[in-house]
Amino acid sequence: MLKLIASRLATAVPSLIGVVIVTFMLTRVLPGDAAAYFAGPAATPQAIAEIRAKLGLDQPLPVQFADYVTALAKGDLGTSLSTGQPVAQEIASRLPASAELTLCGLILALAIAVPFGIMAAVRQGSWVDHACRLITTAGVSLPVFFTGLLLVYVFYFKLGWAPAPLGRLDVFFSAPPTITGFYLIDSLLTGEFETFRAALAQLAVPSITLAIFALAPIARMTRASMLAVLSSEFVRTARAAGLTDYTVILTYAFRNAMLPVITTLGMVFSFLLGANVLVEKVFAWPGIGSYAVEALITSDYAPVQGFVLAMAVLYVALNLIIDITYGIIDPRARSEA
């Protein structure tokens, strides 16, 4: 297992280097002049030139890149021109909000999609199978921002069941003491159950929005993988041996069908990282997605580069977890590594 982890980390390093290079180059070719924006509309050319020199934008690109990599090696992601705060500090304060939203959406999608996909495969051609196809098609077809706006209109505006989509907590509640940064966990650990209910209410609709987007590929892959396994000879042998349907489906069939589903989780997580940006803007969620969008609009390079690098690290870490899970489920993955 250690050899598997080491080999995956070795292959992740070139990927992260590529992300740093590509992100740096893309931010420099974006339209707009950061110095002119922060100098203001009434600034003189001399004032703009002074700000450009202060930011280091008057240096050649190789010099700017060398300075950026040197600072990055020291753990310095730069300073945001919009807020005046270090980017690393901003990302660290906003990342728990994005992580809580993404993980809740993914867990909710798994809780619905996996049983749904199994039932659709076991009862092929039934109403469950047709409902699975309909829901997965709708989940793939509907843009995530449209789904979010539709749910806000129905559950907040029309029915009044959901609170106003204005962040992680209602204005009448204060944030719990920071332990993990996850409001649900921190409120439980500190015994603030009213805050827990308020945070859960605020999290419900955006999590459902992400779950609808994520459950489609998971349910379709679960159904397809289960159909392939259920037609295998070892499943027919297990049925002929007199084993119960529960044992055959969950112990034999589902365990062998899990590997493609786990692979799909990696792709779904990467999709959620992109969809999370739109969901955060719809629900005024104070995460790193909305932070990056605001920085992109103002041509603030450092937050954009920090955001992309943080997402790349998360994606690499998730793929490492998936590879380790492979080895736990299927020992052949460890031997091949």
Could you tell me the two tokens for 282?
């719809």
pLDDT in tens, the chain (337 residues): 566 667 767 777 787 788 788 877 777 776 666 666 666 666 777 777 777 777 677 777 788 788 888 888 887 787 787 777 888 888 888 888 888 888 888 889 888 888 888 888 888 878 887 887 787 777 777 788 888 888 888 888 888 888 888 888 887 888 888 888 888 898 988 888 888 998 898 899 999 998 888 888 888 888 888 888 888 887 788 788 777 777 878 777 887 778 788 878 877 877 787 788 888 888 888 888 888 888 877 777 788 888 888 888 887 777 777 777 776 766 665 555 5
For residue 1, what pLDDT is reported?
A: 59
For residue 146, what pLDDT is reported?
A: 84
The most distant pair of C-alpha atoms in the chain lies apart, rounded to whole Å, by 86
For residue 87, what pLDDT is reported?
A: 85
DSSP 120-166: HHHTTTSHHHHHHHHHHHHHHHS-HHHHHHHHHIIIIIIS--SPPSS
Q: How far apart are CA 159 and CA 193, in angstroms?
A: 25
> pLDDT tens-digit profile of 292-313?
888 877 777 788 888 888 888 8
For residue 65, what pLDDT is reported?
A: 83
For residue 40, what pLDDT is reported?
A: 66
- What sign has the CA pseudo-torsion 148, 140, 316, 62? negative
Superfamily of domain 92-286 in the CATH hierarchy: MetI-like (1.10.3720.10)
* DSSP structure class, residue 299: T
> pLDDT tens-digit profile of 166-208?
888 887 888 888 888 888 898 988 888 888 998 898 899 999 9
- Please name the residues in contact with 130: beta carbons below 8 A apart, sequence gap of 6 or more: none
In the beta sheet, which residues pair with residue 86?
79
Domain residue limits, the chain: 92-286
**How many other C-beta atoms can be found within 10 angstroms of the C-beta atom of residue 140?**
13
For residue 163, what pLDDT is reported?
A: 86
Q: Tell which residue, 298, 261, 295, 260, has the closest CA to residue 277.
A: 295
* Residue 190: HSE in the Cβ half-sphere, 13 Å Cα cutoff: 17
